[in-house]
Structures are given as C-alpha cells and as structure tokens.
Amino acid sequence: MKKLFLNGVGWVSLFAWVCGGALAQEYKVGLILDKGGKDDKSFNSAAFRGATQAKSDLKIFLKYVEATDDNAFETLTRSFAQKDFDLIIGIGVSQAEAIKKVSAQFPSKKFVIVDAEVKAPNVRALLFEEHEGSFLVGAIAAMMSQSGTLGFIGGMDIPLIRRFEMGYVAGAKKINPKVKVISNYVGISGDAWNNPAKGKELAVSQYGAGADIIFAPAGASNLGVFDAAEEKKKFAIGVDSNQNWIKPGYILTSMLKRVDHAVFAAIEDGVKGKFTSGTQRFGLANQGIDYAVDQYNEKLLTPKVRADAEKIKAEIVAGKIKVPDFYLKK
C-alpha cells in the first residue's frame, strides 16, 4: 500500500515538474464555475467571458472546470492550488466555504470569490449591488407594461435573489404605485439554476395570470422564460449577461451584472502584481451594474423610456433615490 502511495506521489511531482517547467513564465488562472456551467448564457457565462478575454489580452494560462457536486468545490480549489496556479476564482455563493478553507491553507496563492464575502488576506471578494439594477429594470418594466401586472421568476430561493426581487418591485412601484408583481422561484437547491423546463412552466402561468413582462434572474432556467415569452408574444427581461440576442424582439432589456469586467480586472491586477484583497463593490455608479441597450432591443424601448431610465439611474447614483436592500432589511 505504502509503495502505491509513494508511486503516486512520484507521479504527481513529475507532473508538477513538467508543467512548472513548461509554463514557468505564464500566469496561471484557475476558474471554478458553479453548477449552472459555462453555457448558462448568464452568470457563469459572464465570468467565463471575462476570464477568456483575459486569456487573449493578457496571455495568461486559463483552465476552467465545472463542479460535479458540492463536495467537489473544495477538491477542485485545492487541486488548483496544489498545481501551482497563481489565481483561483470561485464563481457563486456555494463556493464561499471552499475558498475560505483552502485560502487559509495556501497563503501564498491568490483567490477571488464572486457574490460572497470571504475576509482573508489573500482573498478578493466581488460583490454586486443587484438591487440597484433590479430597481432600474423594474421601473422600465412598469413604464412599458400595458396590463399593469409584472412577473418575477427567481432561480434558487436565497437572499441574493430576494434582493433582486425587492429592488425590482420597488422600482416598478416607483413608476406605478398600483402595479401588481407576481413572484415565483424555480426551486431551492442548486439545480434551480439549470431547469429551463420549470422556468418555462412558471412563465406560462404568469403570462396567463396577466403579467406582460417577466424579469428572470434564474441562471440557465431563464432560457425557458424566454421561450415562453416568444410563444405567448410577451416580454422578458434578461439578467447578468446581455441576453437581448437570445430571443430578439421578446427581451425588453437585460440587467447587466458585469461579472466579466470584475473578473477581468481581478486577473489583470494579478498579472501586474497589483492584486489587492478585500471586498470590491460594483453598482450603477461604477458601471458594475447596468441595463443593456443594443441593436436587438433599441426599437422596443422608446426614447422617452430610455431618457426616464437614465434619469432614474442618475438619481440612484446621486443618492436621491434610496433603493431598498434585502440584505439590510433585518
């Protein structure tokens, strides 16, 4: 038995030596995606896009993985650290514990966690003010709605998504105090991020109940919501990435959460030796949060709506509008 292990150790060190020798000059970045995977066209896709851009612009060595189960996060994080990656990026709240534990074991490595706060000297936490952007798209939805009823479909029922919901409802009420918002969640486990069928089912029933615009921060599950929008000839609002292109004409706008920019910036800082730990917040003020206007939706949003939206945005940035934050509720 012992011999077997020694043999294994030998192999690993040989591998490390070969890799280390060949890639000694490259800055190595390991990206660990959440269960939604890199093709969720939303949150994980945004992170993946930022890292891929860093690969082509900054000539880093990039390796990404998708986790098989919750216990795998820690294993993958540690594997990256052991394989001498310089910067390890965990995407999503589920990885907070793994990053916390492994970052303490490898103090010389740098870590990034998105959407959760981990306080350690070698960890940078990237947090986004989702409620601000949700308020903005909520206001836009209320301006555009014919029926006075809006829909909200969240992915997993966690405080983070409640924060989206609270901002969205507040934004809609700001425009039309009598607006009605129907809310549903896809589920309460990680699979809720990747269940387009359930997303579609919920959307069809919300449209049936009179909603004409649905905001869907639901990971890959919102692809089902877009399907329903096309089928019922109604509108949906995308999230995280710019999703306007997925069903042109049916996606009113997308609330952008620039995970791509934040991830790129973290990698750039790492490459240039300017990596800092601590928490970075991204909101409307520093364009970390925004809403998307492009060739796919510029005909949907009237100039008046866009002008009003810009005005609300400026007022939030200036602090004239206080957006309620679910995190500060209790």
In the list 80, 226, 275, 296, the residue contacting another protein (rule: CB under 8 A) is: 80
Q: Is 325 in the site for another protein (CB under 8 A)?
A: no
Q: Side by side, which strands form the sheet with 289-291?
A: 180-187, 149-156, 213-215, 235-240, 251-257, 289-291
Q: Is 63 in the site for another protein (CB under 8 A)?
A: yes
Complex with another protein: residue 66 or 201, whichever CB lies closer: 66
Number of helices (H) and strands (E) in the chain: give both, helices first: 10, 12
Q: Is 79 in the site for another protein (CB under 8 A)?
A: yes
In the list 60, 76, 142, 271, the residue contacting another protein (rule: CB under 8 A) is: 76
Which region among 91-99, 227-235, 273-281, 287-295 touches another protein (by CB under 8 A)? 91-99
**Number of Cβ atoms within 10 Å of the Cβ of 65:** 16
Kindly state the smallest distance separating residue 318's Cβ from another protein, in Å. Answer: 30
Positive/negative CA dihedral, 118, 260, 193, 162: positive
Kindly state the smallest distance separating residue 72's Cβ from another protein, in Å. Answer: 5
Q: Is 14 helix (H, G, I), strand (E, B) or coil?
A: helix
Complex with another protein: residue 94 or 242, whichever CB lies closer: 94
Kindly state the smallest distance separating residue 70's Cβ from another protein, in Å. Answer: 6
Number of chain residues interacting with another protein (CB under 8 A): 36
Complex with another protein: residue 71 or 287, whichever CB lies closer: 71
Complex with another protein: residue 7 or 287, whichever CB lies closer: 7
Which region among 71-79, 133-141, 143-151, 269-277 touches another protein (by CB under 8 A)? 71-79
CA atoms within 13 A on the CB side of 23: 19
CA distance 309 to 293: 11
DSSP string, 222-260: HHHHHHHHHHHT-EEEEEES--TTTSTTTEEEEEEE-HH
- Considering only residues 137-176, where is the footprint of another protein by CB under 8 A? 156-160
Closest by alpha carbon to 25, among 47, 2, 58, 54? 58
Kindly state the smallest distance separating residue 1's Cβ from another protein, in Å. Answer: 9
Q: Is 255 in the site for another protein (CB under 8 A)?
A: no
- The kind and range of the H/E element at 94 are none
| Residues 132, 286 contacting (CB under 8 angstroms) | no
Q: Which residues have C-beta within 8 Å of that of residue 179, sequence separation ≥ 6?
A: 142, 145, 148, 149, 150, 172, 173
- Burial tier of 236 (Cβ tally within 10 Å: 0-12, 13-18, 19+): buried
Q: Is 72 in the site for another protein (CB under 8 A)?
A: yes
Q: What binding mask, one character per residue, do residues 185-204 give for another protein by CB under 8 A, x or -?
A: ---xxxx-------------
Residues that bind another protein in the complex, under the rule CB under 8 A:
4-5, 8-9, 11-12, 15, 63, 65-72, 75-76, 78-80, 83, 93-94, 96, 105, 116, 156-160, 188-191
